[in-house]
Amino acid sequence: MEAAAVHPQTASAFELLDVHYAYQDIPAFNGVSLCIPAGQCIALLGANGSGKSTLLRLLAALCFPDRGRLTAFGEDLSAERMQQEALAYTFRRRVGLVFQNPEVQLFNPTVFDELAFGPLQLGWKREEILRCLDAMLAEFSIVHLKHHSPHRLSGGEKKRVALASVLITRPEVLLLDEPTAALDPCSQSDVVRFLAGCRGTGRTVVTATHNLDIVAEIADYCFVLQAGRLVAQGAPKDILGDGALLRATQLLHAHWHVHADGLAHIHDHRHHLAGAGTGT
């Protein structure tokens, strides 16, 4: 896969300063301040309703803060600025979003058309489109699906097509909402392997998930959200080693099993990294 077009002078991909956002007067994001460095792989952790998807929508310029400041690549990201055609074009070229449900972004009659759509909108030449399209089909093992309808594919196949359709334009920033949700174990492994391979490549990757199993492999740094607020941040080993935090944010679930003597036992199910310590 070709590397993203990284701008080395950019210290941060995104910065939020006291950002607030509400859906029809229902608060969803409450005074969040954070910085996402360029070239880092970030995990957004939190239970359902914590604000992960809202943050991704803000970063993708699908919605804009009601209050506070949001910047992308050092420039203000606002509805007014995104009305400028040149700025919007550049931003959409640099930032790609993969939704949790691939159905909402797959709309072309064939997989070929799906992958070609983005490059066509960007005015690429036919030869470049075909070259990159073939590379993406091979990268995500979907060559055999080239002329299939996306809506007749399995969940894992749809996810791979969605990823390929975004990555074919080589975005500098990749945003993913629950990329392993509703996938079979084999498809989950494929997605995690891809995300792990993004580390150290210069691409900024922000993955929203509540699946702690994948965090150690895909993330350099974590932000933990709860009820629209940033409640913790740190390296994966520190976040995963904090049992009290994981319980408080409903990221730690109870594990139930039966002992040989027939007695049932319930305890916290923990995820460990080397050097993260032990927990209950």
pLDDT score for 182: 81
Is residue 7 pLDDT above 50, yes or no?
Answer: no
Is residue 271 pLDDT above 60, yes or no?
Answer: no
Distance CA 178, CA 175 (A): 10
Q: Extract the tokens encoding 200.
A: 């150290």
Q: Judging by DSSP bridges, how do beta strands 204-209 and 173-177 pair with one another?
A: parallel
Q: How many CB atoms lie within 10 A of CB 84?
A: 11
Give the mean model confidence (pLDDT) for residues 2-7: 39
Q: Extract the tokens encoding 2.
A: 């070709």
Q: Which residues 6+ apart lie within 8 Å of 217 measured at CB?
A: 192, 195, 196
Residues in the chain: 280
Distance CA 41, CA 11 (A): 14
CA atoms within 13 A on the CB side of 39: 10
Q: For 63-72, 193-202, 241-250, 255-264, which range has the lowest pLDDT when averaged over its residues?
A: 255-264
pLDDT score for 130: 96
Distance CA 94, CA 38 (A): 12
Is residue 5 pLDDT above 90, yes or no?
Answer: no
Report how many helices (DSSP H) and strands (DSSP E) the chain contains, helices first: 10, 12
Continuous segment of H or E residues that includes residue 28:
strand 26-37
Read off the pLDDT band of 66 (50, 70, 90).
very high
Pick the CATH number of 12-254+263-268 from 3.40.50.300, 3.50.50.60, 3.40.50.1240, 3.40.50.1000: 3.40.50.300
Is residue 14 pLDDT above 90, yes or no?
Answer: yes
Continuous segment of H or E residues that includes residue 164:
helix 155-167
Give the mean model confidence (pLDDT) for residues 249-276: 56
Continuous segment of H or E residues that includes residue 29:
strand 26-37
Give the mean model confidence (pLDDT) for residues 86-92: 91
Q: Which comes out higher in pLDDT, residue 53 or 260? A: 53
Give the mean model confidence (pLDDT) for residues 216-233: 97
Contact 146, 158 (CB under 8 A): no
Contact 227, 250 (CB under 8 A): no
Is residue 145 pLDDT above 50, yes or no?
Answer: yes
Three-state DSSP class for residue 78? coil
pLDDT score for 163: 92
Is residue 161 pLDDT above 90, yes or no?
Answer: yes
Instruction: Dump the DSSP string for 99-129.
Output: -SSGGGT--SSSHHHHHHHHHHHTT--HHHH
CA angle centred on 162, ends 11 and 150, rounded to 5°: 170
Read off the pLDDT band of 109 (50, 70, 90).
very high
Q: How many CB atoms lie within 10 A of CB 21?
A: 22
Q: Which comes out higher in pLDDT, residue 60 or 186? A: 60
Q: Which comes out higher in pLDDT, residue 280 or 186? A: 186
| Plot region of 264 (φ>0 → left; ψ -120 to 50 → alpha; else → beta) | beta
Read off the pLDDT band of 261 (50, 70, 90).
low
Is residue 278 pLDDT above 50, yes or no?
Answer: no
Is residue 267 pLDDT above 80, yes or no?
Answer: no
Is residue 204 pLDDT above 90, yes or no?
Answer: yes
Residue the block writes with tokens 């399995």: 154
The model's pTM is 0.85
